[in-house]
Amino acid sequence: MSTIGHWIGGESVLTGNRTQQVFNPSSGEVCGEVELASTVTVNQAIENGKAAYVAWRNTPPAKRAQVMFRFKMLLEEKADEICELISREHGKVLHDARGELQRGIENVEYACGIPELLKGEHSRNVGPAIDSWSEFQPLGVVAGITPFNFPAMVPLWMWPSAVMCGNAFILKPSERDPSSALYIAQLASEAGLPDGILNVVNGDKEAVDALLHSPDIQAVSFVGSTPIAEYVYNQASATGKRCQALGGAKNHAIVMPDADLDNAVNALMGAAYGSCGERCMAISVAVAVGDEVGDELASRLTAQLKNLKVGSGLDNSNEMGPLITAAARDKVVGYIDSGVAQGAELVVDGRGITVPGFENGYYVGGTLFDRVTPEMTIYQEEIFGPVLVIVRVKTLQEAIDLINAHEYGNGTCLFTRDGEAARYFSDNILVGMVGINVPLPVPVSYHSFGGWKRSLFGDLHAYGPDSVRFYTKRKTITQRWPSSGVREGIAYSFPS
Ligand code: NAD
């Protein structure tokens, strides 16, 4: 069995620390074990980053961009290998892994152009013969802590921008599917990224806490569940670090009576059951405006669910793979049990399915509940599985009020043909990413990604323009070269 270690100073490192098993969720087999970094190993990575930062900070941005261009080519060349690593440890179907990787590559493409955004601002003659400018300087060594559900893409949201801004980066991927991020770091080295500018430490809470408590880490980007996001944000803030911590979600899609229902149902199928519902932008609540829409949704979704092809992620003909772990499967089944116990109508039950040849995989079939109400646990909590619930309301306003009252505010969407309703909705909804007839409104790489309310702690969003602000600090320089014309005497009043 292979042991998955760390990537420190441009080489693979095994330290003999504690380990944890890594599973192939499609088959339930152990496919490796990952080392869990101790504080000593994390500090070694940080020291490495500190040393490498000194030269990288002063490397011309255009030279850094050349590394990034080569890196993008390597990601494309090695896409099949990367997607297989993703699918083997995560379980998502290969074509879905390909989509994840493509979105990650788009973040790399954006990072190639970051020199344009580091140009700063310049004002001539802010006073007599005085010029002033603002420049954006790197922070130093920064860290990223990422979740299991996008093991390649979410790290690529972070470190390409951070290093293009001149920082050194320590990545702590999810210990459940660590291999793709590690392999991608090796490709970055191959592309010419100097040793120590990107270090990967695998691990669990001990590694995270070592990063949070290190005085040498200047900023922390986190993506994961809300309780851990809140913990990371509080700890990082308490130790004076800049922090953006993206958390969980419960994304609602409102379906209006005038919507194109065929389009809405297709969109809901992909958004609710793609990647087995393990997406922070998955739609997990369909809000039907009117009983007629509710009835139509229930019957059309049921018909589609009958054809949903569930199976191994490594078989590209499948549409939905397994959940990440046996514990995740049991948790999702527990939620379905609770929905039944609390009186929701279970329309399609995904419990207890088996996939021939993969009997030990962590499968739950696509599940649909109708007549779910806001007090139910399956409405309130993020299930993070293939479970869609239908809530019935009478008006658009009632639907908006429902969404605005929820603790999460990551993504949402509205299906309608009414432009006025769409405008009112996008104007008044308390959610960070909004779609109109678009079920997964994940911003493209040149916008930024982030939710509102308890879906994000901090202010700046991930990737795109916000990432350049997050990974740099502004310095404003005011400069005068005294000459006979502007030489002044002593001035005791505030300069104006
Ligand atoms: P998680 O919170 O369990 O883990 C995320 C990271 O935190 C991992 O690297 C993990 O090792 C670390 N971690 C876990 N427990 C910790 C602890 N007690 N102390 C310190 N660190 C700890 O999340 P997950 O299960 O890997 O990912 C799924 C969650 O991530 C879902 O809630 C999903 O909505 C969310 N997510 C959010 C976004 C977003 O952009 N908002 C994107 C992807 C995933």
Q: What are the boundaries of each domain within the chain?
A: 3-247+455-477, 251-436
Q: Average pLDDT for residues 214-224, to the nearest whole number?
A: 98
Average the pLDDT over 306-314 and give the result.
97
Spatial contact of 305 and 348, defined as CB atoms under 8 Å apart? yes
pLDDT confidence bin for 351, thresholds 50/70/90 = very high
Which atom of ligand 1 sits closest to the CA of residue 146?
9
Bridge partners (DSSP) listed for residue 453: 408
Distance from the CA of 65 to the center of ligand 1, in angstroms?
30
Mutation to probe ligand 1, out of 148, 201, 251, 332 (largest number of atoms < 8 A from CB): 148
Q: Phi and psi for 170 in degrees, rounded to 5?
A: -110, 120
Q: Which of 225, 412, 431, 440 to mutate to test the pocket of ligand 1 (most atoms within 8 A of CB)?
A: 225
Question: Which residues have CB under 8 Å from 415's CB, separation 6+?
Answer: 253, 254, 255, 256, 259, 260, 263, 264, 267, 437
CATH topology (fold) of 251-436: Aldehyde Dehydrogenase; Chain A, domain 2 (3.40.309)
Query: Among the atoms of ligand 1, which is closest to the Cα of residue 204?
Result: 11
- pLDDT tier, 484 (very low <50, low <70, confident <90, very high otherwise): low
Vertex 44 angle, CA 42 and 48, to 5°: 115
**Residue 270 alpha carbon to ligand 1 centre in Å:** 23
Pocket mutation for ligand 1, best pick of 208, 275, 452 (most atoms within 8 Å of C-beta) = 208
Question: What is the spatial distance between Cα 108 and Cα 468, in angstroms, rounded to a whole number?
Answer: 13
The token pair at 364 is 């739950």
Its ipTM equals 0.99
Nearest atom, ligand 1, residue 328 CA: 25
Which ligand 1 atom sits closest to the C-alpha of 228? 2
pLDDT greater than 70 at residue 83: yes
pLDDT exceeds cutoff 80 at 135: yes
Ligand 1 closest atom vs CA 225: 32
Question: Which residue, judged by its Cα, is nearest atom 9 of ligand 1?
Answer: 174
Instruction: Write the single-letter amino acid at 124.
Output: R
Ligand 1 centroid to Cα of residue 256, in Å, is: 33
Protein residue with its CA nearest to atom 40 in ligand 1:
246
Q: Which residues fall within 8 angstroms of residue 11, CB to CB, at 6 or more apart?
A: 195
Question: Rounded to whole angstroms, what are the CA distances from 480 to 124, 136, 195, 317, 495?
Answer: 11, 21, 40, 68, 14
Task: Give the residue-averaged pLDDT of 331-339.
Answer: 98
- From the alpha carbon of 150, which atom of ligand 1 is closest? 43
CA gap 268, 273 in Å, rounded = 8
The answer to whether the CB of 136 falls within 8 A of the CB of 57 is no
**Residue 430, token pair as written in the block:** 């308390």
Question: Rounded to the nearest whole angstrom, what is the distance from the C-alpha of residue 487 to the centroid of ligand 1?
Answer: 59
Report, as residue numbers or ranges, the catalytic residues: 280
Question: pLDDT tens across 460-479, in order?
Answer: 999 999 999 999 999 999 99
**pLDDT classification of 492: cutoffs 50, 70, 90:** confident
pLDDT digits (tens, 9 = 90+) for 123-132: 999 988 899 9
Q: Of 77, 72, 76, 79, give the one whose Cα is nearest residue 94.
A: 79
**Could you report the per-residue pLDDT of 20-35, keeping only the tens digit for each?**
999 999 999 999 999 9
Report pLDDT for 256: 98
Residue range 315-330: mean pLDDT, rounded: 98
Please give the distance, rounded to the nearest whole angstrom, from the Cα atom of residue 223 to the centre of ligand 1: 6
Asked if residue 106 has pLDDT above 90, the reply is yes
Return the structure tokens found at 422: 């769409």
Taking CB atoms and a 6 Å cutoff, what residues make up the pocket around ligand 1?
145-150, 154, 172, 174-175, 204-205, 208, 223-225, 228, 246-249, 280, 382, 384, 410, 451, 455
CA dihedral angle for residue 393, residue 397, residue 399, residue 400, rounded to 10 degrees: -170
> Which tens digits make up the pLDDT trace of 278-297?
999 999 999 999 999 999 99
Q: Which of 170, 140, 225, 219 is nearest to 460 (CA)?
A: 219
Q: What is the pLDDT of residue 495?
A: 78
Which pLDDT score is estimated for 466?
98
251-436 matches 3-247+455-477 in CATH topology: no
Residue 470: partners with Cβ closer than 8 Å, 6 or more residues away:
219, 221, 242, 244, 460
**Ligand 1 pocket test target in 92, 228, 325 with most atoms within 8 Å of CB:** 228
pLDDT at 3 exceeding the cut of 70:
yes
- pLDDT, mean of residues 403-423: 98
Q: What's the 201 CA to ligand 1 centre distance in angstroms? A: 16
424 in Cβ contact with 88 (< 8 Å)? no
pTM, full prediction? 0.97
Q: Are 165 and 468 in contact (CB under 8 A)?
A: yes
Look at residue 151 and tell me whether its pLDDT is greater than 90.
yes
Q: What is the pLDDT of residue 482?
A: 76
Q: Residue 486 — very low, low, confident or very high, per pLDDT cuts 50/70/90?
A: low
Fold of 3-247+455-477: Aldehyde Dehydrogenase; Chain A, domain 1 (3.40.605)
pLDDT recorded at residue 157: 98
Sign of the CA dihedral running 190, 191, 197, 200: negative
What are 126's two structure tokens? Answer: 């802010």
Asked if pLDDT for residue 48 goes beyond 70, the answer is yes
Question: Ligand 1: distance of its center to the CA of 427 in Å?
Answer: 30
Say how far apart CA 384 and CA 386 lie, in whole Å.
7
Distance (Å) from CA 158 to ligand 1 centroid: 15
Nearest to 298 by CA among 206, 372, 374: 372
